[in-house]
Amino acid sequence: MCNRGTGLLSEYGYRWEIESGYRSIKRFMAATTSKNFVLRFFYFVFACLLYSIWRAVDLLVQVELTGEYEHAPIVTADNMLTLLKKETGIG
């Protein structure tokens, strides 16, 4: 019984990571009140792309600076979004 409880907690922990990931992706989404599904889907996919780029940049920076990767980001989402806005004017 104890092993099963531990397994459930572990599975719930993975779910929590997924939920946290979606919450983080929302930070990269453009605000819209459009009811156009195609536009809203594009915004979601684009936000996922930006989120993935951010995590990849953070991973590379962490490995370069420390030689290992931790889940807590060094490059924050706010820094990444500010840089994107400055370089592209988008945002």
* pLDDT per position as a tens digit, 27-84: 888 888 889 999 999 989 988 998 888 889 889 998 998 888 887 788 888 888 888 8
pLDDT of residue 35: 92
Local confidence band at 1 (pLDDT 50, 70, 90 cut-offs): very low
- How many domains are there within the chain? 1
In terms of phi and psi (left: phi > 0; alpha: psi -120 to 50; beta: otherwise), the region of 46 is: alpha
Take residue 29 and report the two structure tokens written for it.
Answer: 């989404």
> Rounded to a whole number, what is the largest CA-CA distance in the chain?
56
Q: Locate tokens 């989402």: which residue?
A: 77
Domain that holds residue 22: 2-88
Q: What is the mean pLDDT of residues 4-8?
A: 65
